[in-house]
């Protein structure tokens, strides 16, 4: 039975994953939060999942590399430097990084990429997300993934196109940009919409997470899959065969 270790085990996602493991064919190897021994956890698990905070990423990857243990990174709020660190670790071990482990969002990203590739540049793309009041990063990792998918569909790089939030005298919208808006409140598990706004018509592609269970089950499915993979960087598409 594949044993799964959890970085960030006392958090909302860590608790949801630990609770779901017995129903999945895996076993719980243990978990740590602040102050725990990352190296010991990495040595004792067949595969690791990280749902903690960006500041802990380097420590968790270092422990995973030293123990040669594959790792799923679900933490969001990552910068370019974090992504370069993941690429470096993926030379030694299997690493799957995703802003969203649900099947629905993987499907939505594929639909967004397709729509963006077919609709002309005169269809403006805006990404809207809403999450619970305790979320600390914006835009959400998922919103950025969906923005990436739209940019990819247009053969561009999101970093050249993104406009995050608007306030004040912004001027008119620049053609081809991809806008992001974030709402926070209550206990919303995760709502995402990608709006394609054309001349006189509008298409909205949406996903609503009804609970964290979908993320927890997706994370465990990804971990069980990743445990048998060669070193490299993977996404949920590989797990789901999309």
Ligand X SMILES: O=C(O)C1=N[C@H](C(=O)O)C[C@H](O)C1
| Per CB under 6 A, 56 contacts ligand NDP | yes
152-155: list long-range contacts, CB under 8 Å, 24+ apart: 152/113, 152/116, 153/112, 153/113, 153/114, 153/115, 153/116, 153/117, 154/116, 154/117, 154/121, 155/117
Look at residues 71, 138, 135, 146 and name the one whose alpha carbon lies nearest to residue 105.
Answer: 146
Is 101 annotated among the ligand-binding residues?
yes
Binding partner at 11 among ligand NDP, ligand X, none, C-beta below 5 to 8 Å by kind = ligand NDP
Interface with ligand X, residue 142, by CB under 6 A: yes
Does residue number 82 form part of the binding site for ligand X (CB under 6 A)? no
Show the tokens assigned to 166.
């608007």
* From the list ligand X, ligand NDP, none, partner contacted by residue 149 (C-beta under 5 to 8 A by kind): none
**Which partner from the list ligand X, ligand NDP, none does 131 bind, CB cut-off 5 to 8 Å by kind?**
ligand X
Of 60 and 131, CB closest to ligand X: 131
Please confirm, yes or no, whether 113 is among the known catalytic residues. Answer: no
- Is residue 100 a known part of a binding site? yes
Dihedral angle, C-alpha 85, 50, 233, 231, nearest 10 ° = 100
120 known ligand binder = no
Establish if 31 lies at the interface with ligand NDP (CB under 6 A): no
Does position 98 interact with ligand NDP (CB under 6 A)? The reply is: yes
Closer residue to ligand NDP (CB): 72 or 116: 72
Cα 132 from chain centroid? 16
Residue 218 binds to ligand X (criterion: CB under 6 A): no
Among 76, 97, 162, 193, binds ligand X (CB under 6 A): 76
Active site residue 131: yes
User: Closest Cα partner for 146 from 197, 223, 206, 201?
Assistant: 206
51 touching ligand NDP, by CB under 6 A: yes
Residue 76 annotated as lining a ligand binding site: yes
Q: Single out the segment in contact with ligand X by CB under 6 A; choices: 56-64, 133-141, 148-156, 222-230.
A: 133-141
Check 60, 113, 131, 192 and give the catalytic one.
131
Binding residues: 8-13, 43, 74-76, 98-101, 132, 141-142
- Cite the active site residues: 131, 135
Return residues touching ligand X (CB under 6 A). 76, 99-100, 131, 135, 140-142, 190
């Amino acid at each position: 039975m594949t044993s799964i270790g959890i970085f960030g085990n006392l958090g909302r996602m860590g608790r949801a994953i630990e609770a779901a493991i017995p129903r999945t064919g895996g076993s719980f190897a243990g978990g740590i939060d602040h102050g725990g021994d990352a190296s010991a956890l990495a040595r004792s698990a067949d595969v690791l999942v990280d749902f903690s905070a960006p500041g802990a990423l380097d420590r968790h990857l270092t422990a995973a590399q030293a123990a040669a243990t594959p790792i799923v990174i679900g933490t969001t709020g990552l910068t370019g430097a974090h992504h370069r660190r993941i690429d470096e670790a993926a030379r030694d071990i299997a690493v799957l990084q995703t802003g969203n482990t649900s099947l629905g969002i993987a499907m939505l990203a594929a639909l967004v990429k397709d729509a963006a590739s077919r609709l002309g540049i005169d269809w403006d793309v805006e990404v809207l997300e809403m999450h619970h009041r305790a979320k600390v990063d914006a835009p959400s990792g998922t919103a950025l993934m969906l923005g990436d998918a739209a940019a990819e569909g247009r053969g561009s790089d999101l970093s050249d196109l993104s406009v995050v939030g608007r306030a004040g005298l912004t001027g008119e919208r620049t053609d081809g940009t991809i806008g992001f808006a974030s709402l926070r409140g209550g206990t919303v598990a995760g709502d995402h919409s990608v709006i394609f706004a054309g001349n006189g018509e509008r298409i909205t592609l949406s996903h609503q997470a009804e609970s964290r269970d979908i993320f927890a089950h997706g994370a465990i499915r990804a971990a069980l899959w990743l445990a048998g993979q060669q070193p490299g960087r993977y996404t949920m598409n590989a797990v789901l065969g999309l």
